[in-house]
Structure 1
Amino acid sequence: MRRIPVIPTLVVGVLIAVMLALGFWQLLDRAPKKEAYLAQLAQNPARAPVAFPQAPDDRLLFRRTTATCRPPVTIRRAGAGSAGFRLIAECRGGMLVQLGTSRNPRAEVPWQGGAVSGYISHAPDHRSMIESLMRPRPQPMLLVLDRPAAGLSANPRPSTDAVPNNHVAYAVQWFLFALAAAIIYGLALRRRNRAVVERARPR
């Protein structure tokens, strides 16, 4: 009689159950919540303006806002995909303002701050994926100007297309991992049983 190893089978069974649970969690919990969140974000540009948040709050993404950028101001560049580079001003006190975009990697703008208006978005996060996982923290906010600073191209309009929504894909990945684990373990058991049968044959 072929015996199935109890402990390895239990370990693999638990791992498969965990992967399936993670898949259903992404599919039945995280995905609907993200859809509801995206629906809220799609309505945010039409809502009443709010003060620029002192602390990150993702519920305020794409809301219109006004603020004052206090000098001194330092300006840095960040990648903007097909738009080239975005120029971001850091105001006294730490507030960030996206001034506009440029295809010139050396673009400079003599902007000194003052009253600003636009919408709330995420500031670039330059941390590595590993650091983001090991030390999670809310992503800083910035104010994206309605009208770009002189010499720069206009900033993109707020769009939910820029917000990742990968939970269904994550669910599929977990289900595939579970299937792969089951297949690999099944093949390993089959090979083990063949070896047992071979050793049991009279010589």
Structure 2
Amino acid sequence: MRRIPIISTIVVTLAVATMIALGLWQLLDRLPRKEAFLVQLATNPAKPVIAFPRDADEALLFRRASAVCPAPTSIRLAGAGASGYRAIAECPPAGDQPALAVQLGTTRDPNAHPRWAGGPVVGHLAHAPTGQSLIGAALDPAPPRLMLVASPPAAGLQPNPAPDVDAVPNNHLAYAGQWFFFAAVAAIIYVLAVARRRR
């Protein structure tokens, strides 16, 4: 009967312990934080209107905000899923107000050329599209850029969707389950391998 391989056992034990620790981190730290964050977001639409913020603070998502766009430098279309396409205007800085993106409304026409001369706009804060891949966004240390989602929409466009907390991903419970599953699979495979080796 062969001995249990000590080095391999240590390596696998450390790997399993690490995966369990990552699962507990997702379950006991990340999940409660995200749930508290979602509760805050759910209350943001009812809070008073603020000026468009200079800093990209995710705690302000869904908060009502106002801004003034002197004249947009460009208006482009971006995919909006079931709503078709979003018309997004890029606005230059104005006084103390930083440069910002304004989602003017939606359209189902991929060849639409929305027109908007700028001016005062009110709406809620949301993440601006970045065009980054999921990996690129995860590795980017900068906070996601905020944009103003106009309400009402600009002339000729359909209304923007209302803020929806359910659209904010909360996958930490699933991530915890994955880490626990990986730990269990690694442990079972190693136990079976050792049992076969000792025959």
Q: How would you bin the TM-score normalised by the shorter chain?
A: over 0.9
Q: How many residues align?
A: 194
Moved more, 178-187 or 56-65: 178-187
Q: Report how far residue 137 of structure 1 moved.
A: 2.1
Contact 1:86-1:101 at 8 Å conserved across structures = yes
Contact 2:2-2:197 at 8 Å conserved across structures = no
Render the CA deviation track for 1:30-52: whole Å, top value 9, x for unaligned. Answer: 11111111001100011111111
Q: Which runs of 5+ in 1 are unaligned?
A: 195-203
Matched, 1:121 2:123: no
Q: Report how far residue 178 of structure 1 moved.
A: 0.5
Q: Report the secondary structure of 1:169's partner residue.
A: helix
Q: Report the secondary structure of 2:181's partner residue.
A: helix
CA distance in 2, matches of 1:85, 1:70: 24
| Residue 80 of structure 1: aligned partner | 80
| Residue 146 of structure 1: aligned partner | 151
CA distance in 1, matches of 2:51, 2:183: 47
Q: 2:171 aligns with which of 151, 166, 171?
A: 166
The one-letter code sitting in structure 2 at the alignment partner of 1:149 is A
Contact 1:19-1:178 at 8 Å conserved across structures = yes
Render the CA deviation track for 1:113-158: whole Å, top value 9, x for unaligned. Answer: 1110011111113111222233332110000001111111100001
* TM-score (structure 1 length as normaliser): 0.91
| Residue 39 of structure 2: aligned partner | 39
| Residue 57 of structure 1: aligned partner | 57
Q: Report how far residue 7 of structure 1 moved.
A: 0.8
Q: Which has the larger radius of gyration?
A: 1
Q: Report how far residue 72 of structure 1 moved.
A: 4.0
Q: CA RMSD in A?
A: 1.2
Q: Report the secondary structure of 1:181's partner residue.
A: helix
**Distance verdict in 2 for CA 1:72–1:89, change over 3 Å:** closer
Over 4 Å off, 4+ runs = none
Q: Which runs of 5+ in 2 are unaligned?
A: 94-98
Contact 1:98-1:144 at 8 Å conserved across structures = yes
CA distance in 2, matches of 1:192, 1:39: 53
Render the CA deviation track for 1:35-78: whole Å, top value 9, x for unaligned. Answer: 11100110001111111111210010111111101224301111
The one-letter code sitting in structure 2 at the alignment partner of 1:64 is R
CA distance in 1, matches of 2:120, 2:73: 13
CA distance in 1, matches of 2:108, 2:37: 33
CA distance in 2, matches of 1:125, 1:179: 37
Q: 2:108 aligns with which of 103, 108, 116?
A: 103
Contact 1:66-1:116 at 8 Å conserved across structures = yes
The one-letter code sitting in structure 1 at the alignment partner of 2:150 is L
Q: Report how far residue 187 of structure 1 moved.
A: 2.0
CA distance in 1, matches of 2:64, 2:127: 13
Q: How much identity, in percent, do the aligned residues show?
A: 57
